[in-house]
Structure 1
Amino acid sequence: MDSFRRDGLTFDVLDAGPSDGEPVVLLHGFPQDATAWARVSPALHQHGLRTLAPDQRGYSPMARPHGRSRYTLRETTADVLALLDAAGLESAHVVGHDWGALVGWALGAWHPDRVRTLTALSVPHPAAMSKAMVSSDQALRSSYVGFFQLPVIPEQLLLAGNGAALRRLLAHGGVPDDAVDRYVARMREPGALSAALGWYRALPWSGRDPVGRVRVPTLHVWSTGDAFLGRAATEATEQFVSAPYRLEVLDDVNHWIPELAPDRVAELVTAHVRTA
């Protein structure tokens, strides 16, 4: 399949690997797209896994609805359920990075019957994140979130000079040049960056719907070089998982784990899938 539909929106999907392999849904974050997994997927395919990587809400050109309320966590998790339905899958392994990890946490708590295993890269459980915001330096690390919720200004800053600020942000984090070019080009499409920022701007609505305990086997991968996410929330995450849980720490890797440590990610995901 190369696309699926939900609620009048059409989502692009990269569906690859053996069609009869264990299905693995790969969920990207901001400001990435499905190609964030381009260096991970081939190794998963070699191990017999099928990957389905959607361009999520706000990123697929035909799935950019207007209004902050259209980007709540309930909406973005429902998109993944629609993907599973369209693919004829009762359940799948879920791997998410950044915002994709947050969607994964919600799926593991709200729809454990649809999730065989969860692998969350970078982002901790949202309840652990909230706890760390008042007990560590996490609020300072997350200060950009408030900025991204402002109207108009983030778009003007990030896209000025053909996206120079966004390009610097990604390049400074070590994202490979070809990936930087893809992501910036996507965000420069009319309305694309505003749609992607809709995830941040919907946080007041998403916060009214707590994620709760995750009830599926969970692997959490965090990197010590992550400037946005600290150790406190990472270490507090286990208490919000009521299932087998493992934390894997990558030393000196920046936030962009799928692009910077693809071989290790593929190795960890493959081993985690085989535990199910």
Structure 2
Amino acid sequence: MNAASDFPEPTRIPVNGIELEVFEAGRENAGRPVVLAHGWPELAYTWRHQVPALVAAGYHVIVPNQRGYGGSSRPAEVEAYDIEHLTGDLVGLLDHYGYENAPFIGHDWGAMVVWGLALLHPERVSTVVNLSLPYQERGELPWIELLEAVLGPDYYFVHFNRQPGVADAVLDANTRRFLRNLFRKNEPVVPPQPGMAMIDLALAEEAPGEPTMSETELEVFVSAFEATGFTSSINWYRNLDRNWSLLAEVDPIVAQPALMIYGDRDVVQQSPRLARFVPRVEVATLEAGHWIPEERPHEVTELIVGWLAKHDMA
């Protein structure tokens, strides 16, 4: 499933006051759902390598373009992208298909949403598989405030919040270059550079490392973001402190069985305290950077299918 034409055709499904563009496969396996949540700046198409194997393993595979992405709704209000709305969309998908619960698989920001879903709607999540982004502890300082104190005003999470619209415009004007330079693997290890990393990538003539995908595959992402722009997806970052507040009274322990898959060259740090908050977690580490589903598609697929076979109670 490497060409866009091989990916399932989408349908638009009303959920939670919006519409999601959903790619569905394995309808013949109704009764055994699995939901996959992409990250930033990704799409449902990010999971193209995993979908056929999950169908072959007997799953009804449900893969949305989450709100703000692709053909899904893009509300104008920044607050429409907080963790309550994002998890509410996934609950709405389960309701639409008539499922009480399901395994959820997330990468990057999708992992953040799946962790949040397990906390806010634990009865709807049977098992968790997350890639790249471990559970984020809710400390004493709001997340953006903490990141600004530790990493400075140019760190892209902070910049997105403190200078709204600035990065959006640069990425919109250089969509193809930005995505081509971002989706890389086997990059040399270099010390942190000054400046705003995402803007720098969007303006760089070329990037180190190798592409994670073919030009045909890249075109799927380029076409989608050229049509939508980046603001609606960046608005997810603009709710981090709001999410911190929304989670204040929530039990922080993820009780479900979980699999955490890291890339050993990912800039996202592994969590030394993961088991404290996710006591039933198993951890796997692959030789990869951040874009694990595409860098190591076969290994990721085997890990997910094998782990679900042991832990999915559906």
Considering the TM-score relative to the shorter chain, is it more than 0.5? Answer: yes
Matches within 5 A, 1:1-276: 2-17=11-26, 18-20=28-30, 22-127=32-137, 139-140=150-151, 143-149=155-161, 150-171=163-184, 172=207, 174-177=211-214, 178-190=216-228, 192-210=229-247, 212-227=252-267, 229-231=268-270, 234-242=271-279, 244-251=280-287, 253-276=288-311
Secondary structure at the counterpart of residue 189 of structure 1? helix
Q: CA-atom RMSD, angstroms?
A: 2.7
Query: C-alpha displacement at 1:161, in angstroms?
Result: 3.9
Query: C-alpha displacement at 1:28, in angstroms?
Result: 0.2
| Contact preservation (8 Å) 2:106, 2:113 | yes
Q: 1:217, 1:152 → 2: CA distance?
A: 39
Range with bigger deviation, 51-60 or 172-181: 172-181
Secondary structure at the counterpart of residue 110 of structure 2? helix
Q: 1:269, 1:128 → 2: CA distance?
A: 27
Secondary structure at the counterpart of residue 222 of structure 2? helix
Q: TM-score, normalised by structure 1?
A: 0.88
Query: C-alpha displacement at 1:181, in angstroms?
Result: 2.1
Distance 1:6 1:20, change over 3 A: closer
Which stretches in structure 1 are left out of the alignment for 5+ residues? Answer: none
Radius of gyration: which is bigger? Answer: 2
Give deviations 1:19-70, integer Å, cap 9, x for gaps: 3362110000011110000011111112212210000010143410011100
How many residue pairs match? The answer is: 268
Distance 1:29 1:48, change over 3 A: same
Q: TM-score, normalised by structure 2?
A: 0.78
With a CA cutoff of 8 Å and minimum separation of 6, indicate the structure with the bigger relative contact order. 1
Secondary structure at the counterpart of residue 10 of structure 1? strand
| Contact preservation (8 Å) 1:94, 1:104 | yes
Query: C-alpha displacement at 1:6, in angstroms?
Result: 2.4
Give deviations 1:218-240, integer Å, cap 9, x for gaps: 1111111112x013xx2221110
**Paired AA for residue 180 in structure 2:** R
**Paired AA for residue 176 in structure 1:** M
Distance 1:248 1:139, change over 3 A: farther
**Paired AA for residue 307 in structure 2:** H
Query: What is the aligned-residue identity percentage?
Result: 31
